[in-house]
Structure formats: structure tokens, C-alpha cells
Structure 1
Amino acid sequence: MADHAAGSGDEPLVAVAGGGASATLVAAHLLRRAGPVPRLLLIDRWGLHGRGQAYSTDDPHHLLNARAANMSGVEGEPGHLLDWTRAQGIEASGEDFLPRPLYGRYLRDLLDTSARGRPRHLTELTGTVLSLAAEPAGGWTLRLADGTSHRADAVVLAVGNQQPGRLPWEPPPPRYIADPWRRGALDAIDDDAPVLIVGTGLTMVDLAISLSRTHPDRVVHAVSRHGLLPRPHHPPPRPPEADLVLPAEPASLRELLRWARLAVRSNGGEWHGFVDAVRPHVPALWGALSDADRRRFLDLVARHWEVHRHRIPPVSAARIEALRAEGRLRVHRGRVDDVRAGAEDRLAVRIGTDHGASELAVGWLVNGTGPAGAPGTDTLLSGLVAAGIARPGPLGLGLDADPGGAVRDAAGRPHGDLFALGPPLRGVRYETTAVPEIRAQAAALADRLAALGRRQVERVP
């Protein structure tokens, strides 16, 4: 294994906490560059380097929620993914929604091929980073759960989505699944008893498809405050993106909503093209809102935006509609008020609505609320905030950072050697969880990290 101490080799060392898409894309963009680059240490708690939890599923019915044309892992090479599929003997078009396990293979291969010309520049390590400590002479010491520590000249927080937040009425396992994306978590659901999923978003869609396949007689319930499900992508041919004229800044939330309604109306009522056109502008629009308006957006608008923005493939939507028509997926609009032990290993769940309450008897309860927004469920992120090394992002979402992803400390000062990308930047950018956004951030961050390698070369006589 390569020496992990900062300054111990000819090149500086960058430690990347994470092993999923965010970590893979920043590593690939750095390793593919010409000229000197720092060494990389990728530390993945799951040992799933390249794929991460999101793309390590083995269910071929779990599909990407974006078309292949948008899912290239290399900025500036939109056909990179499709070129790879053809090289694998897989016929796919840009309009296809590829299986997530296949995309996991693609990310793993992207990491391997990017490192091929620099074999000693990439070290992969399985472990959980618990904390960071700044070194007096510069750089960081990373402490891992196994008691080891590693020094690095710079650190990238590519931890991806956090686990779902704790629910106030969580029953004890085994009848409760707190994190459905933990590897093997759903294996415990081994009978045909009804399942209740808390949440009706993208997580619920994948869970309902998987759980209905393993037991054909199983009934899946899903509950959320709005009862809204993700909308399907428009079938081919896709409508063109709307021709937008952005509102003058600063715009209030009220003005933005009025602008959005008028833009959709001028687009003939076709909203898919509007959502796709506005997506690249979301970070700037979000950043220009006041905190009060951002809070109102989260409370009143966010769920409606999410179901239109984060859409599902038509085939997945058809499967969900079929399950609902068969009575095997039942969506409830309300909230879980209480969970208690029932008869015969069942859970008695009380669901409250604006018009009263009802009770469900289920065998299993799954937290499908999606990733937590505040850094509290991630030991590393919450520890950085507690130590003053980082501070929460706007409205407590993720971490605060400058426009280039440099993490800000408790006083608001950006570090020159501690960075984040992807989901931890949700409070700063809001739109930051999909591959196109993470890919662009990774490319920009690779430019910044490459400067470490150039400075090292300049110091050599």
C-alpha cells in the first residue's frame, strides 16, 4: 500500500472521503488530466469503490432516473457512457434509461481506466473516516474507525447522500428497516406480510418495484404528507427545452413562481421542457433568494418541484401504475402518528390525516423518506460542524462552502485544502444530487486540486 503521509512522496496527497459517484468523478477528472497531479487516497466505508451504495444494487429493474444521453461521467464528452456501452456489446441509445447495476459497472471501469496511466497515483482503502484534524504545518490528519490515521495535504468530502433521518416513532428492528439502501437491508423482509414505506419519492418507487417482485401477493403501502409520486419522463420524442428569459435578480419566491407559471404557459403548457431548461440555473436562483423565501420554498414548493424535476422512466411509471391498479401499491396522504406492536408479529401503525386517523396492520416498516438534509446523520460531517471546522449550509442543509466547493469554517472562512461536492452542498446549490451537476463540480474541483501537483513540481530544483 502506498505511503499515506503528507509530504512523504514526490507528489502531494489528496484524501477523498467516499467511494461512490462523487468520489469516482472527481478522481477520474483528476487522473485523466495531463501534467502533474497529486496522489489520491479513496476511502470508502462500504468497500464499493466506484459504485457506491446508489449503483451497487443488483436488481436490474432499478433504472437510472435520467436518460443515458445525460449520464456521461466525463465533462465535455457527452457520448462517453454510450461509447462504453457499445464497447461492452450493449446496444443503447441516448433515450434509454439504463439499469443502475450497469451504471455501477461503468463508474468502476471509469475509475480503473482513468488510473491506468498512473497506477501509483490511486490507492483504495476500505474504512470509515470519523474525524479530521488540521495539522500546524498544513494539511489534515484523518482518523478512521479502525484506529488508524492518515495524513493528507488536502481532503475532499465526497460522502454522497446521508442516511435517512431518524423518525420519532421508530420501532426496534427487525420489523423496521431504518436505511433501505444499506447492503442487504431488504433481505430481512422474507415473508408476504404487508409493508409500509414512509415516503413516496424515488426511494419508494425502487422499493415498491423490488418488494412486489419478490412476493407476488405482497401489498405495499406508502405514506407521505402530500401523497405525491414522481412524475414520469416524457416518452420519445422528447419536447425541446423551453426558451427561457430569466427573471431579473433579485427575485422573490412569489415572483419566481409567477415567472414559472408564465414560462410554462408560453411553452404551450408543456412543463418537461421548462423544468429541463431551468435546471442549470437553479443554484443561482436559489442563491439569490432570501433565507425566508428559501424556507418558504422548502415548506410549500419543494415537494412539487422535486416530483417534476426528479422524474422516473416511463417503464417504471407504468409498473407503479399497474401495482396501484392491482391494489398491490396503496398510497396514503397523511402522516405516521404512532407505531406499536400488534398481534402476530405485526405493527399497528396509526396514520393521521386532516380528516381523522386510520390504522394499518403491517409486517414491516421501511424508512423511505430519502437522504437527510442536515449533517446530523453522518458522523464525519456532524463532527466537523461540532469542531468548528465546518458550519451548516443555509437553513441547516449540508455544509456551507464557497462557489468552488471550499468548505467554510465556523467563522465563514473557506479552507484552501478542504472541499466538498455533490449532496453535501445542497444548502448552497440546492440542485446538486444528480450526475450532470456532480460531474461539472468534479471537473472544476479537479482543476483546483491539480494546482497542488503543479506547486510540488515548482518546488523541485
Structure 2
Amino acid sequence: MSDRAARSQNSPLVAVVGGGASATLVAAHLLRRAGPVPRLLLIDRCGLHGRGQAYSTEDPNHLLNVRAMNMSGVQDDPRHLVHWARSQGLEVSGDDFLPRTLYGRYLRDLLDTTAGRPGQVTELTGTVVSLVAEPSAAGWRLGLADGTSYRADAVVLAVGNQAPRRLPWEPPRPRYIADPWRRGALDGIDDGEPVLIVGTGLTMVDLAISLTGRHPDRVVYALSRHGLLPRPHHPPPRPPEARIVLPAEPLTLRELLRWARLTVAANGGEWHGFVDAVRPHVPALWQRLSEADRRRFLTLVARHWEVHRHRIPPASASRIDALRAAGRLHILRGGIDDIRAVAERRLSVRVRSGGKISNLEVGWLINGTGPAATPGTDMLLSSLVTAGIARPGPLGLGLDADPDGAVRDAAGRPHENLFTLGPPLRGVRYETTAIPEIRAQAAALADRLILFSRPDHRERSRQSQPTPF
């Protein structure tokens, strides 16, 4: 759809910065509303509208970490994904873990089928580097890296996960991969040299499966402070969700952990059902903890919660087990003291583990620590914080926002026309990275965005067309 078509309309404009699941679900829920809705300008730096980085993988062994029954993109239709997959001729059940590339196709199709009104949606490939308030038009001016800029009545920061945080001992490239999810980042690893992945979470699981599949003799080492791997999902039949009664107020971290242990014990020791039952209540429980207890949670408990909460499919767990049994995947607990290049194709890594120091020679080092939690690795988010348009979320995680996703400025005041959802809300909600949470946030945000189509917004929108200066 062309910019010319978008400019021909006179309705207000909402700019959505991002091209992945968060952006797609906001657009889909808004466009499914009856009656007049704002036009949408979807800006994605990679041109992957709909799929984003997470679901543009081409490796069929990269599976969703959530069952199909919980991955619908439509809030009021929980079986939407299952029905869509069956319409594609696939025999899919709600208990299946689908390939991520298939889910990318689903999101793209969801965007296409909801953007049916001519001129309603404009897709733009570009990198937003600045956001400036437009007092005269009561909107925003978005500056792009190519020098063009666009006006919008409202902006949604649907930027998804950030790139991994910078490691303190990064060796020179090309033997070091700083962001494995950047398109083409792993293409150069075409030899059989051993690989060291920093991190043992979900990112490591996908990397280990892909890298060992590319070369029959490759050995992978994975290193993290705890050496903990994501737990597998319970095989079918799934256990029922535990019956929980939330702990009373006030709540301390000690009381929260005691409540969790007692609830799991009352559930016969079966923790899968407890984790699934408590998941919708995590944002409220997070808000009830003091700042000091939330900080202690991040330091002492978070990693243990994450490996139980963010589980992997049984098929992925079986592949990891097989690689470890074959000696092709080694899990190390500890840290890195130093890295040096010892040959043209080799790095010497000094690893500290259990009070012992050892040297590990590898051909490649990959930052597999997962998305950064602070806004510093995203140029746009960090610039908004510097300008006072936004401020970091609690404990420096993501961006601060009100319960509905309205971004707060440096003084703590929520903007009326600047929103975010998904991963940037980690400090506010903690659990906010999975499709069920993002889907609910997108549906609620659509209710707010549709207000921009009311008559009192139309006059202001005439000065905020999506036209380059």
C-alpha cells in the first residue's frame, strides 16, 4: 500500500514503531474494531512487517515455546491460530508446538486480512531515530535515519525485545557475534570450529540446535553464572492448573516464596500447573513487592523462576539431551575472565568455574544472554530517555508507563498519545514478553487508540499527515 494512498485519507494517523508480534497485534486489534479507526503507519527497520526478528527464522527446528492453543493472535478467539493452521492444510492440535517460521506466516496473514480497507495501512521500511513533540498539531514528528520525517497523532513503541547487552570482554569481530538474532548474523559460521555461547537460556537452545545441525562434528559450549537450562513442558496429557489463593497483603519476597512452596506442595509437588496458574497474576504480585524485594528477586530468584516459567517443547528438550549425551553440547557454570585471539581462527577464553580457572579454545563466541532489559541498547528508547520524553521503568527495566501502557515522561506524567507494550513494560509488569500477555495489552491499547478517530481529533489530524518533509 503506497504512501499516496495513505495521504489521500483525512482521518487521524497512528504510527506504530516496530514490525514484529507487538506491532502486528496492535494493528490487528485496532483494525478489527467496528466503525471509523485511525490510519496506521507501520515502520519497521528490517522490513519484516508481521514476522519481526523472532518469527522470521527459517530453521524448522526452531519451535514456539508455547502450545498452539495459547498462541492465538486474537484476544476474543483463543483457537484462531489452530483454525488458521488447519485452513492451510495442516493437521494441528492445540497441544502442538508449531515452528516459529509458520507462526511468522500466521502473523503476516493476520495483518493482511485485517488491513482490508484501502489506504488504512501504510508499511514503511526505515529506522526511527528521533521523536519530537509537535505542540501546534498536538502530535509527534518521527525522524528516520534516512533524513525523512513523518507526523502522527499518536505513536506506539512496539519495538519488541532489544539486542543483547554489551559484554565487558567482547573480542574483535568477525569471530564474535554480538547479536545472534540480527538477520544473517550466523551465516559466517560455516566451519566446524567449536563455539562458545554466553548464556544457557532460550536463546542458547535455539543456537545450539541450529549450529550443531549445520555441521556434523561441531561442538558447542554454553556458559552462564548458574548453568541452568530451561525446563521442558510437561508431556501430554497436561496437568490441570493448580488451584491457588493469592497471598494476603502486605507481601514480602520471603512470604511470596513461602506461599509458592506451600502451594506447589499442596498440588502434590507438581509445579507446571502452579506456574501456569500464577502466570496471569504476576504483574499484580510484582507491583505488591517493595522496590528492595523486587531487586532481591532479580538477584536471587529471577533465573530460577525463568527456567520454570519459560519452558521449551519436549522435542527441543530431547535434542538438547541428545547433544549433551553425544558430547556435542557442554553446559558450564561460571564466568569469563579474559578472551584473547591465539590464531587466525581461534580464541582463547579463560573461564572461571567453581573456584578453578581453565582455558577453552574455540573458533567462535556468541552473545546468547538474551534481550537486554534496560533501554540502553535501543537507540530510539535511549534517546527518548535522554530527552526526558520517557524515563526508565522501575529498577531501570524497560520504560515507565501507566497500567495501560501510556509512556511516562521524566517527571512521571503519562503521555496522552505515546504508548508502548510488550517487552518495554518489563519493569512495570515483569511478565510481559509472551504472546498471551502482549495480545491482551494490544486489545486494551486498541480501545485507547480508537478514540483518536473521534471528531475532536480530526481537526488536529489534518496537520499530521504521513508525508515526508
Query: If the TM-score is normalised by the length of the shorter chain, which range does it land in?
Result: over 0.9
- Residue matched to 2:464: none
- Point out where structure 1 has 5 or more consecutive residues left out of the alignment: none
Q: Confirm or deny that 1:326 pairs with 2:326.
A: yes
- Residue matched to 1:251: 251
Amino acid at match of 1:410: A
What is the Cα deviation at residue 291 of structure 1? 0.8
Conserved 8 A contact 2:28-2:111: yes
TM-score of the aligned structures, taking structure 1 as reference length: 0.98
- Residue matched to 1:2: 3
- Residue matched to 1:396: 396
Amino acid at match of 1:330: H
Amino acid at match of 1:388: G
What is the Cα deviation at residue 20 of structure 1? 0.2
- Aligned partners of 1:151, 1:300: CA distance in 2, in Å? 45
**Equivalent residue runs for 1:20-99 within 5 Å:** 20-99=20-99
What is the Cα deviation at residue 42 of structure 1? 0.3
What is the Cα deviation at residue 35 of structure 1? 0.7
Identity of aligned residues (%): 78
- Residue matched to 2:440: 440
- Residue matched to 1:128: 127
- Residue matched to 1:183: 183
What is the Cα deviation at residue 249 of structure 1? 2.2
Amino acid at match of 1:176: Y
- Residue matched to 2:208: 208
**148-157 vs 341-350, which deviates more?**
341-350
Amino acid at match of 1:125: L
- Aligned partners of 1:113, 1:356: CA distance in 2, in Å? 58
What is the Cα deviation at residue 343 of structure 1? 2.9
- Residue matched to 1:169: 169
- Point out where structure 2 has 5 or more consecutive residues left out of the alignment: 461-469
Aligned CA distance change for structure 1 residues 298 and 65 (closer, same or farther; 3 Å): same
- Aligned partners of 2:270, 2:121: CA distance in 1, in Å? 46
Conserved 8 A contact 1:393-1:401: yes
1:429-451 C-alpha deviation (Å, 9 max, x unpaired): 00000000000000000000001
What is the Cα deviation at residue 76 of structure 1? 1.1
SS at match of 1:147: coil
Conserved 8 A contact 2:5-2:119: no
- Aligned partners of 2:250, 2:74: CA distance in 1, in Å? 33
What is the Cα deviation at residue 91 of structure 1? 0.7
**Equivalent residue runs for 1:93-108 within 5 Å:** 93-108=93-108
SS at match of 1:342: strand
Conserved 8 A contact 2:72-2:79: yes
1:148-177 C-alpha deviation (Å, 9 max, x unpaired): 000000000000000001001001110000
Aligned CA distance change for structure 1 residues 343 and 454 (closer, same or farther; 3 Å): same
Amino acid at match of 2:250: P
**Equivalent residue runs for 1:167-316 within 5 Å:** 167-316=167-316
What is the Cα deviation at residue 457 of structure 1? 7.9
1:59-97 C-alpha deviation (Å, 9 max, x unpaired): 000000000000000001001001100110011000000
What is the Cα deviation at residue 115 of structure 1? 0.5
- Aligned partners of 1:402, 1:97: CA distance in 2, in Å? 34
What is the Cα deviation at residue 322 of structure 1? 0.3
- Aligned partners of 2:32, 2:22: CA distance in 1, in Å? 16
Conserved 8 A contact 2:6-2:120: no
- Aligned partners of 2:340, 2:281: CA distance in 1, in Å? 45
Conserved 8 A contact 2:62-2:100: yes
Aligned CA distance change for structure 1 residues 457 and 390 (closer, same or farther; 3 Å): closer
- Residue matched to 2:463: none
What is the Cα deviation at residue 354 of structure 1? 3.3
- Aligned partners of 1:30, 1:386: CA distance in 2, in Å? 31
Q: Which runs of 4+ in 1 moved over 4 A?
A: 3-6, 456-460
What is the Cα deviation at residue 250 of structure 1? 2.5
Conserved 8 A contact 2:157-2:419: yes
Amino acid at match of 1:18: G
Conserved 8 A contact 2:51-2:108: yes
Conserved 8 A contact 1:12-1:456: no
Amino acid at match of 1:346: R
Amino acid at match of 1:204: M
Amino acid at match of 1:30: L
Conserved 8 A contact 1:3-1:9: no
Conserved 8 A contact 1:198-1:222: yes
Conserved 8 A contact 2:59-2:210: yes
- Aligned partners of 1:330, 1:250: CA distance in 2, in Å? 43
**155-164 vs 350-359, which deviates more?**
350-359
Conserved 8 A contact 1:227-1:331: yes
1:92-140 C-alpha deviation (Å, 9 max, x unpaired): 0000000000000000000000011x12110000000001000112100
- Aligned partners of 1:344, 1:175: CA distance in 2, in Å? 9
Conserved 8 A contact 1:5-1:151: no
- Aligned partners of 1:11, 1:175: CA distance in 2, in Å? 50
TM-score of the aligned structures, taking structure 2 as reference length: 0.96
Amino acid at match of 1:2: D
SS at match of 2:331: strand
Conserved 8 A contact 1:11-1:456: no
Conserved 8 A contact 1:241-1:273: yes
What is the Cα deviation at residue 9 of structure 1? 4.1
- Aligned partners of 1:386, 1:80: CA distance in 2, in Å? 41
What is the Cα deviation at residue 459 of structure 1? 6.9
- Aligned partners of 1:212, 1:74: CA distance in 2, in Å? 36
